[in-house]
Structure 1
Amino acid sequence: MRERLLDAALTLFSEHGIAGTALSLVARKARVTPALMHYYFGNKDRLVDAVIDERLEPLVQAFGAKVGALTNDPRRAIETFVAEVIATLSAHAWLPGLWLREVVIEGGQLRARMLERLAPQVAHVVADGARRAQAAGRLNPDLEPRLLMVSLVGLAVFPVAAQSIWRKVFDATDITADTLTRHVLALLMRGLELPDETRR
C-alpha cells in the first residue's frame, strides 16, 4: 500500500507539481482513504521526504556509481552517462515532469534538496573525472569540466522531457530510447562532422 501511495504521489507531482497536489488527491488517485494516507506519511513534507529517500536517491546513487567507476575512461563514462539517463527517464514516466517542475523551474520544491543531497554525488564525479582526463590528454582541453554535466544533462534529459512536443511535430512515434541515445552520442562524440568517407 505504501508503494502504491508513492506511485500515485509521483504521478501527480509530475503532472501538477508538489504545491498543486493535496494529500487527499494522492489518496484518491491510490484509491485509499485520506486517513490511510495520513497514517503512512502524516503530512506532505514527510511524503516528499519519502519520495526523495526511497525513489530519487536510489536512482541517483546507482547512476553515480556506474559513472564514477568509469572516470578513467572519459569516452565510456560519457556513453554510460547518456545511456543511463535516457534509459532511467524512459523507464520512469514520472521523472522527466518532476525534474522540470520541481528542480529546473525557479521555486521548485525539490531544487534545494537536490542541490544539497543528490546533485553533488554525480556532478563532482563528472567534473573531477573530466579534469583528470584533460590532464592526461584524453579529453578535449577546451571543455570546461564544470559545464560538462550541464551539457550532458541538456542533451540527454531535455529530449525525453519534451518528447510530447517533438514527437507530434515530426510524427516521430518510431523513435525509441535507443535511437535517442545513439543520436545524442553521435552529436557528442562527432558533432556535425561528416564521416571520413564522405569528406573524401
Structure 2
Amino acid sequence: MTRPTPAKAPRRRAGRPGGDDLDLRAHLLDAAAAQFARSGIEGSSLRAIAAAAGVTPAMLHYYFGDKARLTQALVEERLMPAMQPLRERLEPVGDDPLALAAAFAHGVAEIVERHPWLPPLWVREVLCEGGTLREVVFRQVVPMLPQWLAGRFAAAQAAGRMNPALDPRLMVVSLVGLTMFPAAAAPVWKQAMDAEPLRSRAMLDHTLALLGSGMRAGSGGETT
C-alpha cells in the first residue's frame, strides 16, 4: 500500500508580504530607519538593526536579504512616501516667494513631526560628504526639486517680488538649513543651552519670522 506523501510546508512567495508579515516588515523598516539615523548606514550592521527590532539577524535577512536591499526598501517605502507630500504642497503655490518658502517650511515641519528619524538621517547621508543616500535622494526622492524651487525664486526676483540682494539658489540652501538642521541638532542645542527641548512649532515660527523679514522686495539692499 502506497503511503501518502507528506505535505510540504508552504514557502513564502516573492514580492510584498501581507497580513502579519506586512506588519513585521514595517516594524523592521522603522527599526532600520531609527538605527541608520543614530549610527549612519555604514555604521549600522544588520545584527544591530535586528537587535533594535527585537528579532534575529536571520529574520531580517529573510525579509530583505542584505543591507543594500534593506536600504533600497527604506528609500522606496519610507523616504519617498515621507517626502512626497512636500512636493504636493509646493506645486499649487502661486507667485509669492514668501508663500512658497512658508509652504516649504510648513511641509518640512509636518514631515519631521511624523518622521523624527528623517532630519538626522538627511544630515548624515545626504548633506555630509560621502553620504550614502545623496545620489539616490536627488535621483529618486526629490528629483529636480532644488532646481525647480530656485527657478521659482528667480522668476519672483525678476518680477520685483523678492529681495534683489538674495541669491535664488542659496534660498534653497537656506530653506534646508532653516528646517532640517534645527530638527537634527535639537538635542545638541538642548545640552548647549541647558534649556527645554525646542518645540517644532517654535522652530517653525522662528523660521517664518526670519523669512518674512528678509525675503520681501525692499527688505534690504546689497551689502558691501
Query: Which TM-score band (shorter chain)?
Result: 0.7 to 0.9
Sequence identity of aligned pairs in percent? 43
Matches within 5 A, 1:51-130: 51-130=74-153
User: How far did residue 186 of structure 1 move?
Assistant: 0.9
Residue deviations 1:69-100 (CA, integer Å, cap 9, x gap): 21423221111111221332233221121112
CA distance in 1, matches of 2:113, 2:192: 20
User: How far did residue 125 of structure 1 move?
Assistant: 2.4
User: How far did residue 166 of structure 1 move?
Assistant: 1.3
User: What do you get for the CA RMSD once the two structures are aligned?
Assistant: 1.7
Contact 2:40 2:121 in 1 (8 A): yes
* TM-score in terms of structure 2 length: 0.79
Contact 1:68 1:126 in 2 (8 A): no
- Which consecutive aligned stretches of 4+ in structure 1 deviate over 4 angstroms post-superposition? none
* Change in CA separation of 1:175 and 1:28 when aligned onto 2, cut-off 3 Å: closer
Q: From the two aligned structures, give the one with the greater helix fraction.
A: 1
Matched, 1:173 2:196: yes
Contact 1:90 1:160 in 2 (8 A): no
CA distance in 2, matches of 1:22, 1:175: 31
From 155, 158, 161, the counterpart of 1:132: 155
* Change in CA separation of 1:71 and 1:56 when aligned onto 2, cut-off 3 Å: farther
Matches within 5 A, 1:28-47: 28-47=51-70
User: How far did residue 6 of structure 1 move?
Assistant: 0.2
Contact 2:112 2:118 in 1 (8 A): yes
Residue number in structure 2 paired with 1:148: 171
Residue number in structure 1 paired with 2:30: 7
Contact 2:105 2:208 in 1 (8 A): yes
Contact 1:60 1:122 in 2 (8 A): no
More displaced 10-residue stretch of structure 1: 61-70 or 5-14? 61-70
Contact 1:71 1:126 in 2 (8 A): no
User: How far did residue 23 of structure 1 move?
Assistant: 1.4
Q: State the aligned residue count.
A: 191
Larger relative contact order (CA 8 Å, sep ≥ 6): 1
Residue number in structure 1 paired with 2:41: 18
Unaligned runs of at least 5 residues, structure 1: 192-200
Residue number in structure 2 paired with 1:183: 206
User: How far did residue 112 of structure 1 move?
Assistant: 1.6
CA distance in 2, matches of 1:71, 1:126: 12
Which is greater in Rg?
2
